[in-house]
């Protein structure tokens, strides 16, 4: 069995450099005499490129281009290291452009091909079409390979024309949001499924999971994951008992496992494994063992990756590679007969299906609109999402849903709620975390500002910081955004604007704050941070540098480093945060920290707590203050702590210990006094509904007050 692969097929690899010579007239790249350093970098870069280790290849070729910036071959291969990667493919463009500009020949056909494709990935459709036009005269059209390349060039020229047309009709009232690094990874996530309760989704990922083994493509096997929306952020559910509310126990195996769809009433879950469809029934609060659908739907040679159901559950649409198909994967339908069996499958016909792949059908609640993805209908590139209306019993000619839902790469697994306003899809478009990412969308959303910030945190040598996080807090909002670094990268969104405090916690460096202003309108900005330290006159200083073209930021903040009890680890001395510019708090003032069920720890690395404690430090320098702590547990029974009174008390004690460790110096100097702690049990009576976490969450808290 093979995994379900939805990425745009890499039908060209580094070997294309050689096979191109058979189908086009190829001038020779220039190559001057080289130094030892050049030869070593080139050797390492080519080895990494051949091994498809693109991140390493990018590093070597970037150094090589910096060393010899006008070498056409070095720029070309640097471009290839980004072109073949799953992320940031658009970064290949300037390298290919530089190679073409520095070529000693008038034209380099390879560059026209790759540059044309890279322009297409980046949404520069006119430039892409022009580069394909310039490539065509160099193709040997009297060979089979040459004819195939000519056909491909014509195909992409048409894609660019279609994209340019759709740009003029781009939908304006849609908000698209990447679900973030908590959900998306570098391995590929796709096929979101509405959960059987609000604000829960299932999705499929090829990240390391239930098995350490990999498939033939060297990627981990597919697993099913469950996520819940908390405030505006998506979080993975990791508690096994919580997970079993949504999927059967031990659903994930050592092979491929994927979620597909719930029935409309949420009591039947359909899943994919062993190239066939299975179902599980929710009975008495537990999911039953998986049962195969009957043979009119399932057949091991058909490879069925996705299905959808009508709202009444009596009509199924599924994907298959049957021999009677139109070509590639086709969409079929079947209905339940009076005996509860599925009738023989019927191909939806050549209005819907083409000689290429169709996939991921989704039928609306009224059964009158079919959404699906296709590589065969007129699109922009890769899989595009289309819709067809059921009119007088027949499906209408599919219509491309257009930009920005579709992109120059793969867009697939489009679903939305019964109201037709909010939904999800998967895409490997530019700006993602890596590979295929999950995105949400909202039509006709309330008019609100969304400021998105992405960037990189690096040290003075330009090396990405592997551990740490970036947090963002508005001056007028108590909700703190936090994103963990992944290879130095971070990303977050906020609905606030104006003045913000951003904190960078980078590896062994001291956490450091910086202020910034976010626009009064929706924006996407890149802010790159560099953290470094230096010694001067026996003192250590730390410098945080921020650069953002979009926000017009290019500045550095310097703070003196000195040793006190660490806020992040009370057992080890560390470096204090410079609080210059941190505002004091009005007195009296309180902050509330909410907890998940059975959780008592208010961790000292909680970014909201760190920011609050920083402000308490400043306030204590202006007047002596007293801190009181109140904690609460809900009435949901706890076996871990015996009863809720004990849980509430444990929360208060843990919070007090954390606060004392952070404010130790101020307490010792008499600027801060820790007053009484109070614990209580509050909230509505428990009605055997612990799954309704939002109902009880506001009664699971610690409140820290200063006066």
- Percent of the chain that is helix, strand, coil (3-state, to 5): 25, 35, 45
User: What is the pLDDT confidence band of residue 102, given thresholds at 50, 70 and 90?
Assistant: confident
Q: Cβ(413)–Cβ(393) under 8 Å?
A: no
**What does the alpha-carbon distance between residue 375 and residue 360 come to, in Å, rounded to a whole number?**
12
Looking at domain 174-443, its CATH class is mainly beta
Record the tokens describing residue 405, joined without a space. Answer: 């839902």
- Select the more confidently predicted residue: 370 or 111: 370
User: What is the pLDDT confidence band of residue 171, given thresholds at 50, 70 and 90?
Assistant: confident
pLDDT digits (tens, 9 = 90+) for 375-415: 999 999 899 999 999 999 999 999 999 999 999 999 999 99
pTM of the model: 0.62
**What does the alpha-carbon distance between residue 449 and residue 455 come to, in Å, rounded to a whole number?**
20
Q: Are strands 330-335 and 307-309 parallel, antiparallel or unpaired?
A: unpaired
What's the average model confidence in pLDDT over 420-440? 88
pLDDT of residue 588: 85
Q: Examine the pLDDT at 192 and tell me if it is beyond 60.
A: yes
CATH 1.25.40.10 fits domain 16-168 = yes
Q: What is the mean pLDDT of the chain?
A: 83
Return the SS3 of 670.
coil
Task: HSE, CB side, 13 Å, CA atoms: give it for residue 553.
Answer: 21
First CA to last CA distance, the chain: 65
pLDDT digits (tens, 9 = 90+) for 634-653: 888 877 777 888 888 888 88
pLDDT digits (tens, 9 = 90+) for 242-291: 999 999 988 988 888 888 899 888 899 999 888 888 999 999 889 999 99
**What does the alpha-carbon distance between residue 205 and residue 208 come to, in Å, rounded to a whole number?**
9
Q: Cβ(378)–Cβ(400) under 8 Å?
A: yes
Percent of the chain with pLDDT over 70: 87
Q: Cβ(352)–Cβ(319) under 8 Å?
A: no
User: What is the pLDDT confidence band of residue 439, given thresholds at 50, 70 and 90?
Assistant: very high
* 448-561 topology per CATH: Immunoglobulin-like (2.60.40)
* 575-707 topology per CATH: 60s Ribosomal Protein L30; Chain: A; (3.30.1330)
**What does the alpha-carbon distance between residue 400 and residue 379 come to, in Å, rounded to a whole number?**
7
Closest CA to 372 of 429, 420, 411, 316: 411
pLDDT of residue 575: 32
Angle at 562 between CA 561 and CA 565, to 5 degrees: 125
Three-state secondary structure of 392-411: CCEECCCEECCCCCCCCCCE
What's the average model confidence in pLDDT over 515-523? 83
Q: Examine the pLDDT at 7 and tell me if it is beyond 50.
A: no
pLDDT of residue 573: 34
Q: Minimum mean pLDDT among 29-43, 206-220, 427-441, 455-469: which range?
A: 29-43
Q: At what angle do helices 109-121 and 125-135 cross, to 10 degrees?
A: 160
Q: Examine the pLDDT at 4 and tell me if it is beyond 60.
A: no
Q: Token match 């057992």: residue?
A: 571
Q: Token match 């289309």: residue?
A: 386
pLDDT of residue 200: 92
Q: Cβ(469)–Cβ(483) under 8 Å?
A: yes
pLDDT digits (tens, 9 = 90+) for 203-233: 999 988 777 788 887 788 899 999 998 877 8
**What does the alpha-carbon distance between residue 79 and residue 77 come to, in Å, rounded to a whole number?**
5
Angle at 388 between CA 383 and CA 391, to 5 degrees: 165
What are the residue boundaries of the structural domains of the chain, listed by start?
A: 16-168, 174-443, 448-561, 575-707
Q: Token match 């049957």: residue?
A: 322
pLDDT digits (tens, 9 = 90+) for 287-330: 999 999 888 888 756 566 688 999 999 999 999 888 888 888 99
Please give the C-alpha separations between residue 360 and each of 96, 387, 478, in angstroms, as whole numbers.
35, 12, 41
pLDDT digits (tens, 9 = 90+) for 448-474: 678 889 999 999 998 999 888 898 877
């Amino acid at each position: 069995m093979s995994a379900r692969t939805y990425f745009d097929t890499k039908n060209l690899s580094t070997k294309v450099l050689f096979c191109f010579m058979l189908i086009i007239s190829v001038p020779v790249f220039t190559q001057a005499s080289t130094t030892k350093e050049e030869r070593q970098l080139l050797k390492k870069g080519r080895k990494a490129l051949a091994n498809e280790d693109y991140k390493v290849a990018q590093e070597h070729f970037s150094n090589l281009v910096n060393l010899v910036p006008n070498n056409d071959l070095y720029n070309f291969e640097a471009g290839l290291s980004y072109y073949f990667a799953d992320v940031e493919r658009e970064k290949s463009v300037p390298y290919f452009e530089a190679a073409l500009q520095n070529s000693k020949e008038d034209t380099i056909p390879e560059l026209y091909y790759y540059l044309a494709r890279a322009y297409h990935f980046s949404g520069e459709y006119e430039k892409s079409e022009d580069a394909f036009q310039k490539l065509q005269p160099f193709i040997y059209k009297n060979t089979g390979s040459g004819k195939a390349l000519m056909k491909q060039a014509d195909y992409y020229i048409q894609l660019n024309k279609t994209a340019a047309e759709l740009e003029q009709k781009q939908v304006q009232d849609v908000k698209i949001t990447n679900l973030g690094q908590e959900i998306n990874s570098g391995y590929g996530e796709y096929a979101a499924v509405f959960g059987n309760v609000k604000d829960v989704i299932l999705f499929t990922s090829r990240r390391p999971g239930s098995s350490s083994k990999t498939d033939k493509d060297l990627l981990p096997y597919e697993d099913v994951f469950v996520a819940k929306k908390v405030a505006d952020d998506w979080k993975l559910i990791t508690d096994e008992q919580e997970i079993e509310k949504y999927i059967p126990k031990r659903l994930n195996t050592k092979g491929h496992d994927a979620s597909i769809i719930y029935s409309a009433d949420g009591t039947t879950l359909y899943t994919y494994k062993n190239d066939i469809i299975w179902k599980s029934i929710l009975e008495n609060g537990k999911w039953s063992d998986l049962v195969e659908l009957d043979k009119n739907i399932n057949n091991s040679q058909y490879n069925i990756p996705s299905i959808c159901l009508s709202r009444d559950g009596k009509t199924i649409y599924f994907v298959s590679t049957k021999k009677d198909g139109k070509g590639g994967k086709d969409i079929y339908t079947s209905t339940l007969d009076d005996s509860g069996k599925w009738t023989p499958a019927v191909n939806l016909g050549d209005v819907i299906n083409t000689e290429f792949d169709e996939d991921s059908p989704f039928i609306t609640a009224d059964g009158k609109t079919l959404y699906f993805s296709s590589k065969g209908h007129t699109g922009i590139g890769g899989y595009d999402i289309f819709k067809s209306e059921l009119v007088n019993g027949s499906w209408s000619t599919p219509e491309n849903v257009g930009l920005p839902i579709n992109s120059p790469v793969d867009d697939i697994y489009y679903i939305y709620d019964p109201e037709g306003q909010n939904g999800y899809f998967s895409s490997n478009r530019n700006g993602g975390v890596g590979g295929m990412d999950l995105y949400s969308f909202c039509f006709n959303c309330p008019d609100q500002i969304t400021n998105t910030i992405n960037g990189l945190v690096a040290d003075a040598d330009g090396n990405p910081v592997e551990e740490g996080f970036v947090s963002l807090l508005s001056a007028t909002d108590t909700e703190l955004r936090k994103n963990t670094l992944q290879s130095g990268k971070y990303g977050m969104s906020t609905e606030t604007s104006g003045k913000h405090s951003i904190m960078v916690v980078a590896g062994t460096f001291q956490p450091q704050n910086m202020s910034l202003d976010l626009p009064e309108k929706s924006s996407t900005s890149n802010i790159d941070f560099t953290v470094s330290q230096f010694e001067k006159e026996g003192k250590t200083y730390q410098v945080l540098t921020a650069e953002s073209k979009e926000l017009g930021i290019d500045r550095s903040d310097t703070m003196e480093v000195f040793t006190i009890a660490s806020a992040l680890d009370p057992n080890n001395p560390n470096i204090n945060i410079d609080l210059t510019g941190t505002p004091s708090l009005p007195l009296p003032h309180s902050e509330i920290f909410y907890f998940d069920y059975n959780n008592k720890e208010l961790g000292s690395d909680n970014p909201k707590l760190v920011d609050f404690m920083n402000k308490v430090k400043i306030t204590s320098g202006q007047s002596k203050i007293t801190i009181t702590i109140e904690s609460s547990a809900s009435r949901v029974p706890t076996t871990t702590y015996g009863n809720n009174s004990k849980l509430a008390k444990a929360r208060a004690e843990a919070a007090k210990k954390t606060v004392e460790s952070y404010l130790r110096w101020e307490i010792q100097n008499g600027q801060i006094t820790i007053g009484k702690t109070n614990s209580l049990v509050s909230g509505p009576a428990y009605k055997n509904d612990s799954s309704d976490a939002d109902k009880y969450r506001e009664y699971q808290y610690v409140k820290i007050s200063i006066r």
